[in-house]
Amino acid sequence: MTEAGLNLPPERIPRHIAIIMDGNGRWAKKRGLPRIFGHRQGTENLRRIIRACVTFGVQYLTIYAFSTENWGRPQEELSGLMQLFHEAFANEIGELIREGVKIQHIGQREGMGADLLEKIDQAVERSKDNRRLILSVGLNYGGRNEIMHAVRKIVAAGVPAEAITEKTISANLFTAGTPDPDLVIRTSGEYRVSNFLIWQSAYAEWDFPETLWPDFGAEELRASIERYAKRDRRFGKLSENNP
């Protein structure tokens, strides 16, 4: 089933949505299944949400798939997750690319398997001219780690201290070239940032639906965007409607 577009003025639709896809483990546990079943179902759901973003006219989608802290999980879950990422990049990406999705990776390459990196690099290369939706995949991503890498790059380039601006830092993050997120969604009723886009989300609007990620479908995304559309973003100034 394809969903209808949004009934909102274009300036009320978030240009960039970022999602902390949380709750896969609890989804599986509720059904008495191993956690990896939840991750599989979560990947299925991601496909739906990517399509919905295209339908809704969202231009950028950034997803948190695996954090730098997630390496602390049991080995069995880690190997299941890595296999799932392999499969997703091997089997799903071709169709997304045909649909006009541009794939980007955000996260530290070091520590990731060479095979997976190769698949990611191929997807990035094959999709580099696409513009319909820019999908940034956070894999081995941590916000602090990202800022650390940015500082290293700036220092290595010999930029004089007084020449470093906020723009310099933004331009050296993994997300360089992508506008800051307008809306960050975290599913599953957890209310924390967990090291996701900590620099970029300085002025994002946040939404915390209770639904576990595998059940967070297109209609829930629509509801989240509709809540966003009612917000008054002031950026520290006074309201445009009510100065």
Q: Is 107 in the site for ligand IPE (CB under 6 A)?
A: no
Q: Is 192 in the site for ligand IPE (CB under 6 A)?
A: yes
In the list Mg ion, ligand IPE, none, the entry touching 21 (Cβ below 5 to 8 angstroms by class) is ligand IPE
Among 66, 85, 174, 228, contact with ligand IPE (rule: CB under 6 A) = 66
Among 170, 194, 199, 231, contact with ligand IPE (rule: CB under 6 A) = 194
Closer of 152 and 192 to ligand IPE (Cβ): 192
Among 22, 146, 205, 207, contact with Mg ion (rule: CB under 5 A) = 22
- Which residues have a Cβ under 8 Å from the Cβ of 20 and sit 6 or more positions away? 64, 184, 185, 186, 187, 190, 194, 196
- Which residues have a Cβ under 8 Å from the Cβ of 7 and sit 6 or more positions away? none
Dihedrals φ, ψ of 164, to 5°? Answer: -80, 120
Q: Is 136 in the site for ligand IPE (CB under 6 A)?
A: no
Closer of 6 and 49 to Mg ion (Cβ): 49
Measure the CA–CA gap between 18 and 183, rounded to whole angstroms.
6
Q: Is 182 in the site for Mg ion (CB under 5 A)?
A: no
Dihedral in degrees, nearest 10, Cα atoms 28, 29, 34, 37: 0
| In the complex, minimum distance from the CB of residue 167 to Mg ion, in angstroms, rounded to a whole number | 33
Q: Is 20 in the site for ligand IPE (CB under 6 A)?
A: yes
Measure the CA–CA gap between 184 and 204, rounded to whole angstroms.
6
In the list Mg ion, ligand IPE, none, the entry touching 178 (Cβ below 5 to 8 angstroms by class) is none
| In the complex, minimum distance from the CB of residue 101 to ligand IPE, in angstroms, rounded to a whole number | 20
In the list ligand IPE, Mg ion, none, the entry touching 197 (Cβ below 5 to 8 angstroms by class) is none
Q: Is 31 in the site for ligand IPE (CB under 6 A)?
A: no
DSSP for 49-92, please give it: HHHHHHHHT--EEEEEEEEGGGGGS-HHHHHHHHHHHHHIIIII
H-helix or E-strand containing 184? strand 183-186
Q: Which CB contacts under 8 angstroms, 24+ apart, belong to 152-159?
A: none
Measure the CA–CA gap between 38 and 41, rounded to whole angstroms.
5
- In the annotation, is 130 catalytic? no
Q: Is 26 in the site for ligand IPE (CB under 6 A)?
A: yes
- In the annotation, is 129 catalytic? no
| In the complex, minimum distance from the CB of residue 20 to ligand IPE, in angstroms, rounded to a whole number | 5
